[in-house]
Chain A
C-alpha cells in the first residue's frame, strides 16, 4: 500500500499528489513514470509521469487530470488515503545535456510532465525558455514552478483569458522568427500539439523531443500494448521511451491506437458517474462521504 501524504487541486479536475514510495523516490530521474492502480480488486493500471520527488522524505509527486473513470476515482482521494499499487520509476530518463538554449513546451497537464525535465535541463547549465499553454486561464498549471526554473516563461491561453492569446506553436514560431538560437526543444501535451510542434521545428532541423502517452498495461516491456512507430520501426514506449525524436514519430498511428477503447472508456466513465456511491465505498468508505457530502446520483460527464 502506498500512502498519500498530500493532495491538492491545481485546477478543476487536475490534482497534485505526494505519495510515499521511498524506493521510487530514491532512484527516479526526470522523464520517468509510474504505473498506478487505484482500486485493488478490479482496477486498471494507468501510467503517470513523476513530476517531482523528495528522496529524503521518500515521496514522489504525480499530477493527475481527471479524464476517465480511473483518474476521476483517483482525484477523489485525499491525504491519508492509500493506493494499492505504485510501480516505478519506469521508462528511460530524459536525455539531459548542456545543449545551450532549450525550449520546454507544456500543453495543459503536459506541463506537469515537462516540468521535471525543465528543472534537469536548467541544472545541466542550459538556458531554458518555457512556453506553457492551456485552453483557458483556470487550466494553466505550475506557473510558479515553471517560472522559477526557466530564464524566460511565456504563458499562452487559447481564449486569451491569461498571458498571451494563441497556441504554443505560434509562440515557438515567433521565437524562431525573432532569431532566437534554439538548440533543443522538448514538447509535451496533447498529441495534436506535439505533432504541430514537430512541424514547426522540422524545417529548421531543431532537435525536438516529445514524451508519448500510448495506452500501457504492464509498463515493463512484456506486452507491446504501448508500441509506437518511430522512424518506421516499432518501439515500446514503456522501455524504449517514453521520449522520442518528434520528427520520427508517427503521430497518426499513436492517435488511432489511443482511441482503441474509446467506447468502453466512455461507458466506464458514465457508469462511474451515474452511480458514484458504491465506487467511493470501494475506495475509502467513511472518509469521502464526509469530505464530499454533496456526492449523490449525478448525471452526465465532466
Chain B
C-alpha cells in the first residue's frame, strides 16, 4: 500500500505514458498497439489523483464510474476491490479503458487538466481490469435477491451488455439475445484486434455470466422469435432493444458493385469476427490486399480501423480519402496519429465520384474529385465544395466505404406498433427510454444513431433504471 503524497507533490508527477508497440513493427501485426500499465506505473499515475470532494471526472463519465474511489483502491493495492467498485457502474472496464474517447469525457473533466495533464483514468481502468483477468479472479459487486422478473435484451453490443449487467445486479433474470454467433456487437465485429483483443471481450462476457446474465447467440429477434412470442410464449416481462446502427451506407456511385468494393462493416466483419486476418486458419476469405492499393472512404474511427487493418493485411499503399480537411475529421486524434505513424496516406479534400473496373468485374481504380472548403454547414463544419475539372483516376484494387451507418430495420419492421422516426430509428422517451409498445424499451445507436461505445453503455444504464422501475411498479 502506497503512502498518499501531499497534493503539491502529486501535481509534480508527470502523466504516465502508455507503452506501445513501435509503429513499424505493429503495422505488420494484429497484436494490441497499447501495451498497458505495469504495477509501478499504475501506482505512480494513481498518486496524481487529487481526490476532489466533488469529482468532476465521475460526472464526465457517461456511466458515472466512481473514479476517485477506484483510484484510491489502486493506491491501496486492492485491485480486485477496485474492479468491483468500477463494475458497480460499468460492466466492461477492460473495453472502455481501451476504446473510450476519455479526452472528451472523464479526463476532459479532470481538475488536473486545467493546469496539468489530466489523470490517465482510462489507462488505470484498463490496468485494473487487465489485472483482474490475469488472475482469473473477478471483483464483482453484490447482486440483489432474485425478483422473479424476466427481461430480454435484444442485441449484445455495449448498450445491451451494460443494461444486462445493471438489471442482473438488481436481481432480475436477464437473457441477452444476439443475432451473430459471438457476443459483443461492434466490440467483436467492428473494433479490430489491435485496438481491442477479442479475448478481452470474451473475458468480460464471462464475468457477466458470473453475475448471472444468460446469453443466447443465433437469435434474430423479429425472425427467429417475434416480439409477441417473447412476451406471450417465452414469459418475458420486459424487452430492451439495443440493436445498434448496423446498416451500412453506400455512396450510390457507378461501379459500386465491383469485386473489391466493400462496406466497412463487411470488411471489418470479415477481418475481425471471421478472423480473415488469420488466413491460414480462417475459412472466411478476404479480397487480396497484400502488395496492393487500398483506399478507405471516410474520416471517422471506422475508417481509421479499416485503413489500419488494410495495412496489416499487407497493403502496399493504404489511403484515407476524405472530402473535408484534417481539422474536420471526426476520428479521435489518437487514432489519426496512430494511423499516420503506421504509414497511412491521407488524401484530404478528395471525394470519389466513380469506381472503375475491368471486364471481369474487378475494381481497378477510383475516380476522385478535389474539393475545397466553403461556408460552414448546419453541423458547423465547413462544407466541402467540388473543384470543377479536377477529376483524376487513381489505381486502386480494394475500396472500403466508411461513410457511416444507419438503422437496421429488422426488428422495427417485424414488430407491429413500434414507432420509428423518418430515418428508421426507434422512437423512445428521452428520460425513460420507453417505446410506443408497453414493456418495450430501446436505447443506444438504434435510438440515437451511431455514437460511441460509452454513450451506448450510458443509454443501457438509463434503460436498466427505467426497466427496473417498470418491473417493480407495473406502471407504464
* Interface of A toward B, CB cutoff 8 Å: 23-24, 27, 37, 39, 41-45, 69-70, 84-90, 217-218, 220-225, 227, 229, 234, 239, 252-253, 256-257, 259-261, 264-265, 268
Are B274 and A44 in contact, with the CB atoms below 8 A? yes
User: Is B181 touching A222 in the complex (CB atoms < 8 A)?
Assistant: no
Contact of B285 with A264 in the complex, beta carbons under 8 Å: yes
Residue pair A261, B217 in contact (C-beta under 8 Å):
no
The answer to whether A268 touches B225 (Cβ under 8 A) is no
Q: List 26 A-B contacts (CB under 8 A).
A: A23-B224, A27-B226, A37-B181, A42-B275, A42-B278, A69-B283, A87-B181, A87-B224, A218-B179, A220-B180, A221-B247, A223-B265, A225-B262, A225-B266, A234-B250, A234-B252, A239-B409, A256-B259, A257-B361, A259-B361, A260-B259, A260-B287, A261-B285, A265-B285, A268-B283, A268-B285
B246 in complex: contacting residue of A222, A256, A260, CB < 8 Å: A222
Asked whether B179 lies within 8 Å of A220 as measured between CB atoms, the reply is: yes
Most chain A C-beta atoms within 10 Å of own C-beta, residue among B225, B250, B285, B287: B285
Starting from the known contacts A42-B283, A218-B180, 20 additional A-B residue pairs (CB-CB under 8 Å) come to A27-B226, A37-B181, A44-B282, A69-B283, A85-B181, A87-B179, A87-B219, A88-B223, A89-B223, A220-B408, A225-B266, A227-B257, A234-B256, A239-B409, A239-B410, A252-B361, A257-B259, A260-B362, A261-B285, A264-B285
| Minimum distance in angstroms from B429 CB to a CB of chain A | 27
The distance from the CB of A275 to the nearest CB of chain B, in whole angstroms, is: 13
Task: Return the CB mask of B254-275 against A: 1 if under 8 Å, else 0.
Answer: 0011011011011001100011
C-alpha spacing A69/B284, complex, angstroms: 11
B265/A224 in contact, CB under 8 A:
yes
Taken together as a complex, chains A and B put the C-alpha atoms of A260 and B260 apart, in Å, by 8
In the complex, the answer to whether B283 meets A44 with C-beta atoms within 8 Å is yes
Contact of B257 among A27, A43, A257 (CB under 8 A): A257
* B431 adjacent to chain A (CB < 8 Å): no
Cβ–Cβ < 8 Å partners of B247 in chain A: 221-222
Q: Is B220 an interface residue (CB 8 A)?
A: yes
CB distance from B214 to the nearest CB of A (A): 15
For A222, what are the chain B residues with a Cβ–Cβ distance below 8 Å?
A: 246-248, 265, 269, 408
In whole angstroms, what is the CA distance A302 to B379 when docked?
Answer: 58
- Contact count A vs B, C-beta below 8 Å: 116
Q: How far is the CB of A115 from chain B (nearest CB, A)?
A: 21
A93 vs chain B, min Cβ distance (A): 10
CA distance A86 to B179 in the complex (A): 10
Within 147-182 of B, Cβ neighbours of A (below 8 Å) are at: 179-181
Q: Tell me how far the C-beta of B219 lies from the nearest C-beta in chain A, rounded to whole angstroms.
A: 7
- Which of B224, B247, B250 is packed against the most chain A CB atoms within 10 Å? B224
Q: Is B218 among interface residues, defined by CB-CB distance under 8 A?
A: yes
Which of A44, A253, A259 contacts B284 (CB under 8 A)?
A: A44
Contact call A256/B265, Cβ cutoff below 8 A: no
Determine whether the beta carbon of B287 is less than 8 Å from that of A261: yes
**B3 interface hit (Cβ, 8 Å):** no
Whether A218 touches B269, Cβ cut-off 8 Å, given contacts A44-B283, A90-B223, A234-B250, is yes
Known contacts A87-B179, A87-B218; A217/B274 CB under 8 A: yes
Task: Report the bound CA distance from A218 to B274 in whole Å.
Answer: 10
A85/B410 in contact, CB under 8 A: no
Residues of B within 8 A of A70 (CB): 283
Task: Determine the distance from Cα of A268 to Cα of B280 in the docked complex, in whole angstroms.
Answer: 9
Contact A217 B283 (CB under 8 A): no
**In the complex, the 7 A-B pairs of residues with the closest C-beta atoms, listed nearest first:** A256-B361, A223-B266, A264-B285, A87-B218, A44-B283, A222-B246, A261-B285
What residues on A are CB-neighbors of B181 within 8 Å?
A: 37, 45, 84-85, 87
In the bound complex, CA of A90 to CA of B278 (Å): 28
Closest A residue, CB atoms, query B234: A23
Q: Is B334 an interface residue (CB 8 A)?
A: no
Please give the distance in Å from B120's CB to the nearest CB on chain A.
34
B225-A23 in contact (CB<8A): yes
Q: Is the CB of A220 within 8 A of B281?
A: no
B223 contacts across to A, CB distance below 8 A: 27, 88-90
Which of chain A's residues have a CB closer than 8 A to the CB of B179?
87, 218, 220
- The reply to whether B408 and A223 form a contact with Cβ atoms under 8 Å apart is no
